Chain A
């Protein structure tokens, strides 16, 4: 794999729980104040020209991970490396970082200011980062941006206000704004989940194009594992703040290694399914204030063993570039292989060379 543009090493984020301050109760001392273990020891790499999907349910920590990577919040421990170097601290450096790593948010109805037109939204990054002077140069750059996200003719769009645009067009404007600074990394947090079904693929295909044409490293955060399979080169599955599985997109969906990934796949809507799926691992995620010891999925896991409560499972290999944090994959210890077939139907292609996948956009 090529050198990652952005890398997370052992990222951990704990949020202090609000203790309802102001009610007259004395505040607890900092050490004993409960914390939410939102993200726990997550490592991942974002190589150029690659879409990495982070799949997880609400509360799995996927958005917190994106905010950590965008350096909107600082980690409790762990490191973010940009092009191999520790991401710099300080306000001015922060701006430098933002020039390389940009974010696209879920709700294009909220992320654009209803009082300003598209021209304003697109000119802001050029001004903030001092990349273009107002005038012909700026106009040209903005027109170029709109072309890159397939909003043409640019002139017509520059004058429009958010309410005059459809959801898909708004999200394209938000993506164009992120592209203004020529970033190397795009962090897209549920970029299509608020959009109408018929226009989602258009935006996903745009992200695929940006990967292929502009060699962007893209983090695609989603709860929809089918869309992750469609767009991403690699899928990372999170559960209760932990990274439970990662690997080439089709390997993860077609030969899932972790029982939680299998549960997700069996619960996902699938019109091709002819019989009712077996849900193995019903229930809900654990409290992240007092997370269970060891593997956080063990309470729901159909294969839980004593060791699952004792130690957090490390990442075990599960194929080429594919790994799972599950004691069942610990072949050296001679533990039983996961029982039950993966919910993969017949006729699947074997997972092949990573570089060939997901470049269809």
Chain B
């Protein structure tokens, strides 16, 4: 968790690792199809922690599952492109990849940690068997002994002692099970670890411990993390940059600090106002009026406009494109930012100045006061 303030912008300027372009995912087909993900563009950079925030039904898990070709029926990828850049410089198109190719790159290039570690681990197999399974499948010439050594090493990385190798999942606490999942995900030194609500079911202290370990491991091994959660306040602390999804669309993406200090999309602003602060004066907060839309009956124009307190007339008719705005690689899909000068004050706060080129003194001062009112 040690700060993204320094490393964030640099990392996000790293090379693209996973590029998602125009991805669309439906559940079902024909006129009954539910558009779970619509035209999403997202780039995960090498070594970056990219937070994907959104409420249930926003399409954040579907996006991750589709991009890694783990989507199950009745999910259908209807359009788009997902490109994985290998270390060697070669590029794979994941949506075109066949089963064999996918089997090779899963776990060794891209691995996945999901929320319910109890369900993800096999209850009748020991931790050792489950940890060595992936090794045996992907590295056939690895000896039994070295597989065991690697399993011990992996457990050590997540702070579990080797005498737990023989344990079964029910003998471990929830936090330990999730640690085992993380150890498994790292077994083949993947470049990308996708984590779908990895700590949601855990207590806050355990959650914090695991996140610390995770960021330390990222710093050591340099893998990129796509961290999916509904908890935006947590993402701001741990992620380098954050993408916010609403009703299957990406509405804003920016560095974590820029998103927190100076949100540009009304939904991001509303989400930030949905988490009460841990300190400072207690002020009434409203959350966001209404509730997330039914994906079968999406509003016309901008999908957020019925809940948006800044909505303009055109918002009901025209869907805003995801467009670059300001500095630092921010993109936002909102008519209020066309042009940015016309945006309401709440959505036009100065960038927090964490980018290298901003004059630090004034920007810091602004950031401090802005933060107080944002929380």
Contacts and interface: CB of A to CB of B under 8 A. Distances in A.
A284 B1 contact: no
Given A167-B291, A168-B291, A196-B291, A223 B203 contact: yes
B283 interface: yes
A360 B173 CA distance: 40
Interface stretch (A38-46, A139-147, A225-233, A310-318): A225-233
B270 A198 contact: yes
A361 interface: yes
B268 to A, nearest CB: 11
Contacts of A268: 204, 278
A345 B280 CA distance: 8
Contacts of A254: 279
Interface stretch (A79-87, A275-283, A325-333): A275-283
B204 A347 contact: no
Interface in B124-176: 173, 175
Interface in A190-247: 196-202, 205, 223, 225-227, 229-230
A153 to B, nearest CB: 16
Nearest to B159: A282
Contact of A196 (B208, B233, B292): B292
Given A57-B204, A201-B286, A270-B237, A229 B56 contact: no
Q: How large is the interface on A (under 10, 10 to 19, 20 to 34, 35 or more residues)?
A: 35 or more
A348 B271 contact: no
Interface string B68-100: 000000000000000000000000000000000
B285 interface: yes
Interface in B224-273: 230-234, 236-237, 260, 270-273
Contacts, number: 136
A201 B287 contact: yes
Contacts of A345: 279-280
B115 interface: no
Given A197-B274, A223-B203, A269 B233 contact: yes
Contact of A361 (B212, B234, B274, B284): B284
B281 interface: yes
Interface string A137-171: 00000000000000000000000000000111100
A250 B274 contact: no
A361 B276 CA distance: 13
A360 B205 CA distance: 29
A269 B234 contact: yes
B55 A196 contact: yes
Interface stretch (A12-20, A124-132, A259-267): A259-267
B284 A227 contact: no
Contacts of B32: none
B233 A349 contact: no
A160 to B, nearest CB: 14
25 contacts: A166-B292, A167-B291, A196-B291, A197-B274, A197-B275, A201-B276, A202-B287, A225-B278, A226-B277, A226-B278, A270-B277, A270-B278, A271-B233, A271-B236, A271-B260, A271-B275, A271-B375, A272-B278, A272-B371, A273-B237, A274-B5, A276-B2, A279-B212, A284-B175, A347-B280
Given A196-B56, A229-B282, A272-B371, 4 more contacts: A196-B55, A198-B288, A284-B175, A284-B206
Interface of B: 1-3, 5, 55-56, 173, 175, 203-209, 212, 230-234, 236-237, 260, 270-289, 291-292, 371-372, 375
Interface of A: 57-58, 166-169, 196-202, 205, 223, 225-227, 229-230, 250, 253-254, 263-277, 279, 281-282, 284, 344-345, 347-349, 357-358, 360-361
